[in-house]
Chain A
Amino acid sequence: MFAALGAAIIAIPLLALLVRVPWSGLVDAATSDVVRDALLISLVTSLAAAVVSIVLGVPLAWVLARTDAPGRGVLRALVTLPMILPPVVGGAALLFAFGRRGVLGEWLEQSTGLVLPFSIWGVILANTFVALPFLVITVEGGLVAAGTRREEAAATLGATPWHVFRRVTLPSVAPAIRAGAILAWARAFGEFGATITFAGNLPGRTQTLPLAVFVSLDADRDAAIAISLIMVVVSFVILLTLRDRWWSGSAR
């Protein structure tokens, strides 16, 4: 009974969305300039955020899982904070740090000329801010599960720590990195609050699909529904591809 109710709470809005889909005008709505730009920006920025998350997140996960550096508990709490923080607060925080008058933003603009807010770089930064924790905790879990026994064996065979990391540690957590990257990408793909706060909502520059949905709800309801449908389908496909690797394959 409660289970059915729980499923209904999620299923009914999605069904309502499907019911309202203007199937005849769908192709036109989905191929309009606004939607095409937004889709491109969304794909580029979310993929970039996933890549940055891997590059920065794997070492971070390694520090959390493999070192006994003091303050690891605090670091872990800090890294996972964006998962529960309202994204709009994250966006505001990014603005205070990297805005034109921000702590680092002013220095960054003077020394390199790079302006993050209201640019596509800002979208990538906002996406990374919300996506990174998903990769870090997934990979940290993978590292803890893999243990250090094989790394020790590699060291006794003469492998330097760097060689051990590349040839033993990374391959053993490859499934966790893959799952974490997909989760991070999915989170970045749907990001709204931090993006609109930090990078604004400029069509063709910083307007991602979620922002386009929000704007279109007033202006062009059919377009909003078409974009929503795209996002539901993409998200659902991600979940299906993840199902075997992550949800049930957590033993890896």
Chain B
Amino acid sequence: MSGDPSPPGGATSGDPAADGLVVDAEIRRGDAVVVAAFSVAPGTTTALVGPNGAGKTTLIEAVAGLVPLSRPEVSGRSTSVRIDGRILDDPVRDVFVPPEQRSVGVVFQDLRLFDHLDVLSNVAFGRRARGEARSDAESIARRWIGAVGLGGAESSRPAELSGGQAQRVALARALAADPDVLLFDEPLSSLDVRTRAEMRRLVRTHLDALNGPRLLVTHDPADAFALADQVVVLEGGRVTQTGTPAEIQRRPATSYVAALGGVNLVWGDASDGRVVVSVDGSASGAEQVHERPLELTVLDHEVAGPVRCTIPPSAIALSPSRPRGSQRNVWVATVRSVEPMGDRVRIVLDGPVGLAADVTPGAVAALSLGPGVEVWAAVKATEIDVQPV
């Protein structure tokens, strides 16, 4: 794998001999037990999603070698962590490769930058640690600092950086060490909405440039769907579903997955802060092209060309007449179905674009919502997340 920030693209086609990251884990910590099996092919990104306390971070730490696998009791079979066939952890065979010999890069949720070192030394740390000459390590570190958009901040201390900048340093530090596998724990959870969209684009760029397997932990479905090729759902220490984002959305196995998959995904063409929606593929399950497409106003004015937009169902407001507020994204839709989901009701809409909206049971009664009813739908530009595809 190249340590260059921009290696030649198109290297993502999987080599059958290199089977990427294969995890078959059982980890017991006190009362908590995590039992999970999944694999991540080279050049692909898997999102590990689940509610807080599901064991996502524990699994990441097991792959990194910070937590050893337990001797299997629950799974009743041998367990292991392997990268490209190499066994990193196998408690039955008594194999445990320490973290420094794994070449597994980690971007920690709490970043863990070295406060006593400047940005340059932080990013150069991995290469220096493996004995590379200072000048070589630092010139590669400089390139990575530039690649994450922090050029000029080389001599800053972590304490002087904003949250978004510190996260870029953590990303650059992990990538500059040229890892075989990249683990990314809650990459965007600590950032504000604006920084988030920017950072998501950056993360996507760098994930795509990495030839190895990438594992992303998140509890935000928007991150999972925007960045991942495969989604592994972890609930209460067990994998409840594995599949592509589309599969997860269409056939949710648990109510958590259903809520997770409820994020609306639409595709379209962006220019100058507007997205002309061409295809939707989430709530209705069918992909359709409309003659009179919906045009969405979005925050991001820089993005252009084909994009994928995510819109949370809770962000779509329904009203009987044209809403008078400042919202510019309004359209008339027809209710296709009404499904109670816990304390909310999911309204699936037809119209210029098929979308799901979550409303309260009170709103259903007030609007007399039922199949065939026409309503005005509205969504704020700030609620729409835009990703180039």
B114 adjacent to chain A (CB < 8 Å): yes
CA distance A58 to B383 in the complex (A): 53
Q: Determine the chain B residues whose CB is within 8 A of the CB of A152 once the complex forms.
A: 64, 66, 99, 112
CA distance A11 to B17 in the complex (A): 80
Binds B, one of A97-105, A121-129, A158-166: A158-166
CA distance A152 to B61 in the complex (A): 10
CA distance A212 to B283 in the complex (A): 90
Contact B129 A156 (CB under 8 A): no
Q: Determine the chain B residues whose CB is within 8 A of the CB of A88 once the complex forms.
A: none
B267 adjacent to chain A (CB < 8 Å): no
Contact B98 A158 (CB under 8 A): no
Contact flags B114-132 to A (C-beta < 8 A → 1, else 0): 1111000000011011100
CA distance A159 to B114 in the complex (A): 13
Binds A, one of B71-79, B102-110, B296-304: B102-110
Contact B130 A158 (CB under 8 A): yes
Our pick among B65, B129, B173 for the contact of A163 (Cβ within 8 Å) is B129
Contact B126 A158 (CB under 8 A): yes
Q: Determine the chain B residues whose CB is within 8 A of the CB of A66 once the complex forms.
A: none
Size of interface on B: residues with Cβ below 8 Å to A: 28
B69 adjacent to chain A (CB < 8 Å): no
Q: Smallest distance from the beta carbon of B53 to chain A beta carbons, Å?
A: 19
Given contacts A158-B100, A158-B177, A172-B115, whether A153 and B129 have CB atoms under 8 Å apart is: no
Q: Smallest distance from the beta carbon of B110 to chain A beta carbons, Å?
A: 7
CA distance A158 to B129 in the complex (A): 6
Residue of A nearest to B112 (CB): A153
Contact A149 B116 (CB under 8 A): no
Q: Determine the chain A residues whose CB is within 8 A of the CB of B65 once the complex forms.
A: 155-156
A167 adjacent to chain B (CB < 8 Å): yes
Q: Smallest distance from the beta carbon of A223 to chain B beta carbons, Å?
A: 47
CA distance A155 to B106 in the complex (A): 10
A84 adjacent to chain B (CB < 8 Å): no
Q: Determine the chain B residues whose CB is within 8 A of the CB of A157 once the complex forms.
A: 100, 105, 125-126, 129, 173-174, 177
Contact flags B7-44 to A (C-beta < 8 A → 1, else 0): 00000000000000000000000000000000000000
Contact A155 B98 (CB under 8 A): yes
Contact A160 B129 (CB under 8 A): yes
CA distance A156 to B113 in the complex (A): 12
Among A152, A156, A172: residue with most chain B CB under 10 A = A156
Q: Which of B79-105 contact A (CB under 8 A)?
A: 98-105
Contact A160 B112 (CB under 8 A): no
Contact A156 B110 (CB under 8 A): no
Q: Determine the chain B residues whose CB is within 8 A of the CB of A154 once the complex forms.
A: 114, 125, 129
Q: Smallest distance from the beta carbon of A158 to chain B beta carbons, Å?
A: 5
Which applies to chain A's interface (DSSP): helix, strand, loop or mixed?
helix
Residue of B nearest to A151 (CB): B112
Our pick among B105, B114, B130 for the contact of A156 (Cβ within 8 Å) is B105
Q: Smallest distance from the beta carbon of A79 to chain B beta carbons, Å?
A: 27
Contact B115 A156 (CB under 8 A): no
Q: Smallest distance from the beta carbon of B323 to chain A beta carbons, Å?
A: 48
Q: Determine the chain B residues whose CB is within 8 A of the CB of A159 once the complex forms.
A: 100, 125-126, 129
CA distance A159 to B117 in the complex (A): 15
CA distance A36 to B51 in the complex (A): 72
CA distance A152 to B185 in the complex (A): 14
Q: Smallest distance from the beta carbon of A4 to chain B beta carbons, Å?
A: 42
Q: Determine the chain B residues whose CB is within 8 A of the CB of A155 once the complex forms.
A: 65-66, 98-100
Our pick among B106, B114, B174 for the contact of A150 (Cβ within 8 Å) is B114
Q: Smallest distance from the beta carbon of B6 to chain A beta carbons, Å?
A: 22
CA distance A149 to B174 in the complex (A): 15
Contact flags B126-146 to A (C-beta < 8 A → 1, else 0): 101110000000000000000
Q: Smallest distance from the beta carbon of A78 to chain B beta carbons, Å?
A: 31
Q: Determine the chain B residues whose CB is within 8 A of the CB of A171 once the complex forms.
A: 114, 116-117
Residue of A nearest to B177 (CB): A157
Q: Smallest distance from the beta carbon of B57 to chain A beta carbons, Å?
A: 12
Q: Smallest distance from the beta carbon of B359 to chain A beta carbons, Å?
A: 43
CA distance A171 to B116 in the complex (A): 7
Q: Determine the chain A residues whose CB is within 8 A of the CB of B116 once the complex forms.
A: 171-172, 174
Q: Determine the chain B residues whose CB is within 8 A of the CB of A168 once the complex forms.
A: 114
Contact A153 B106 (CB under 8 A): yes
Q: Determine the chain A residues whose CB is within 8 A of the CB of B130 once the complex forms.
A: 158
Among A157, A159, A160, A163: residue with most chain B CB under 10 A = A157
Q: Smallest distance from the beta carbon of A96 to chain B beta carbons, Å?
A: 44
Q: Determine the chain A residues whose CB is within 8 A of the CB of B174 once the complex forms.
A: 156-157
Contact A167 B106 (CB under 8 A): no
Q: Determine the chain B residues whose CB is within 8 A of the CB of A156 once the complex forms.
A: 64-66, 99-100, 102, 104-106, 174
Contact flags B163-201 to A (C-beta < 8 A → 1, else 0): 000000000011001000000000000000000000000
Q: Smallest distance from the beta carbon of A187 to chain B beta carbons, Å?
A: 28
* Contacts A158-B129, A172-B116 known; 11 new A-B pairs at CB < 8 A: A149-B110, A152-B64, A152-B99, A153-B112, A156-B65, A156-B106, A157-B100, A157-B125, A167-B129, A171-B117, A174-B116
Q: Name A's B-contacting residues (CB within 8 A).
A: 149-150, 152-161, 163, 167-168, 171-172, 174
A-B contact pairs, 23 of them (CB 8 A): A149-B112, A153-B113, A155-B66, A155-B98, A155-B99, A155-B100, A156-B64, A156-B65, A156-B99, A156-B102, A156-B174, A157-B129, A157-B174, A157-B177, A158-B103, A158-B129, A159-B125, A161-B100, A167-B125, A168-B114, A171-B116, A172-B115, A172-B116
